[in-house]
Amino acid sequence: MAAEAETSELPKIVAPPPRVPSSPVRRSRVGDLPMRVIYRILAGLAAVVVAAAAALIGFLSSDSADSSDRPGGEPPGQIAAPSAAVSSPGPSSPRPSSPAAAPAATGAAPSGTPAPTPDGSAVAAALADPRVAEPPRDRKLARLPGKAVSAKRRVADDKSGISLARLGKPWKGFGASPFSTRQVLPPVRGAGHRAMLVSCPVPIQVQATMKDTALLAARWTLNHHPEGARIKWTASQRAGDGWLLAYRVTYKLKGKTRSSMAAVVVTETDRAKPALVFVTIPDAQRDRWRDINTAVSSVRAL
């Protein structure tokens, strides 16, 4: 019994394998968060984005203002001003104002600025005047009737820049105003006006040529003839640096047709305006008409 006991096998004790604990399943933390927390996070992010956008806009605006304040700076995107050249206006476009109208609105041109070139409208208006028959044709002044007066002395017209003959008796000096110099004949009853020889700077607008200027001056002299006087040209010729126009002036006095012989000389000088010499003698003193030849041929620049 003892031997059997000694040789019997002991039962094997098998230890169970160690139990490995299973790892817990990871869960999303976002999913574990309550929805109110998520909303708070999203609202915070939105506030941050809005604040950042506002700061960026403010920075850009400040930079734009700074650039426009600098000399020559322009705000971004500003369109440059168009050039001075303007295309021709269409039928529905307003016509731009003419540059020639400006001097009229602002007054006379400053000293030293050349006057605008006349466009001939004043000459056209003078020739359209019924008191001026037709344009003068170039022809020399003929020797007028009468006996020439003595003219050994001269009269200087500093204002006009010329000198002319001082006609002898019966001519005499007289108050010059509104002219620069004046010589007259004794008045004659029924003549309509007094014979006179005067000088002054031209009282009308200077034209492109001395001939046109003389034409306007001759028309202006009708102010010193009886009302209704009309011009008929008798001579038109060059006179030194100027032009001479001679003409007969006809008018009516007490129903009778009367006339005067007259002439103007317009000449260039070193003064601002050309000089004018004007002489007129009524038919009641036709024996002195030859003095017109003496007067107009004596004009000299100082």
In 94-203, the DSSP E strands lie at 153-157, 162-166, 172-173, 181-184, 196-201
Q: Which pLDDT belongs to residue 246?
A: 98
Look at residue 281 and tell me whether its pLDDT is greater than 60.
Answer: yes
Whether residue 40 has pLDDT greater than 50: yes
pLDDT at 16: 55
- Cα gap 160→203, rounded to integer Å: 11
Domain that holds residue 169: 138-301
Residues 277/264, Cβ–Cβ less than 8 Å: yes
pLDDT at 66 over 50: no
Q: Which helix or strand (DSSP H or E) is residue 65 part of?
A: helix 35-69
The answer, yes or no, to whether residue 14 has pLDDT greater than 90, is: no
Residues facing residue 276 across a β-bridge: 200, 266
Say which range, 4-18, 41-55, 87-101, 167-181, has the weakest mean pLDDT.
87-101
Q: Closest by alpha carbon to 180, among 205, 196, 158?
A: 158
Is residue 121 pLDDT above 80, yes or no? Answer: yes
Which two three-digit tokens encode residue 189? 């009853």
- Please tell me the predicted confidence (pLDDT) of residue 259: 96
Kindly state whether residue 46 falls inside one of the protein's structural domains.
no
Q: What pLDDT was estimated at residue 68?
A: 40
Which one has a higher pLDDT value, 42 or 207? 207
In a domain, 246, yes or no: yes
Q: What is the pLDDT of residue 5?
A: 44
At 181 the pLDDT is 98
Is residue 190 in a domain? yes
Tokens of 241: 């640096």
Hunting for tokens 């050039």 — which residue is that? 83
Residue by residue, what is the 3-state secondary structure of 222-285? HHHCCCCCEEEEEEEEEECCEEEEEEEEEEEECCEEEEEEEEEEEECCCCCCCEEEEEEEEHHH
Q: Is residue 243 part of a domain?
A: yes
Confidence bin at 36 (pLDDT 50/70/90): low
pLDDT bin (cut points 50, 70, 90) of residue 119 is confident
Whether the predicted pLDDT of 301 surpasses 50 = yes
Q: Residue 110: pLDDT above 90?
A: no
Residue 294: pLDDT above 80?
yes
Mean pLDDT across the chain: 77
Highest mean pLDDT pick, 76-85, 90-99, 248-257: 248-257
Confidence of residue 42 (pLDDT cuts 50, 70, 90): confident
For residue 11, pLDDT beyond 80: no
Would you state the pLDDT for residue 135? 87
Question: In the Cβ-directed half-sphere of 267, how many Cα atoms lie within 13 Å?
Answer: 25
Within a domain: 256: yes
Can you name the residues that pair with 184 across neighbouring β-strands? 172, 196
pTM, entire model: 0.62
Give the model's pLDDT for residue 107.
33
Helix (H, G, I), strand (E, B) or coil at 83: coil
State how far the Cα of 18 lies from the Cα of 139, in Å rounded to an integer.
150
How many domains, in total, are found in the chain?
1
Q: Looking at residue 257, what is its pLDDT?
A: 94
pLDDT-derived band of residue 12, with 50, 70 and 90 as boundaries?
A: low
Q: What are the E-state strand segments in 37-191? A: 153-157, 162-166, 172-173, 181-184
For residue 229, give the CATH number of its domain: 3.40.1000.10
Task: Return the half-sphere exposure (C-beta side, CA atoms, 13 A cut-off) of residue 22.
Answer: 3
Is residue 51 a part of any domain in this protein? no
Residue 274 located in a structural domain: yes
How far is CA 218 from each of CA 16, 148, 161, 230, 257, rounded to the nearest angstrom?
Answer: 149, 24, 20, 11, 20
Q: Which residue has the higher pLDDT, 231 or 38?
A: 231
Q: What is the pLDDT of residues 252-270, one digit of tens each?
A: 998 899 999 999 999 999 9
43 found inside a domain: no
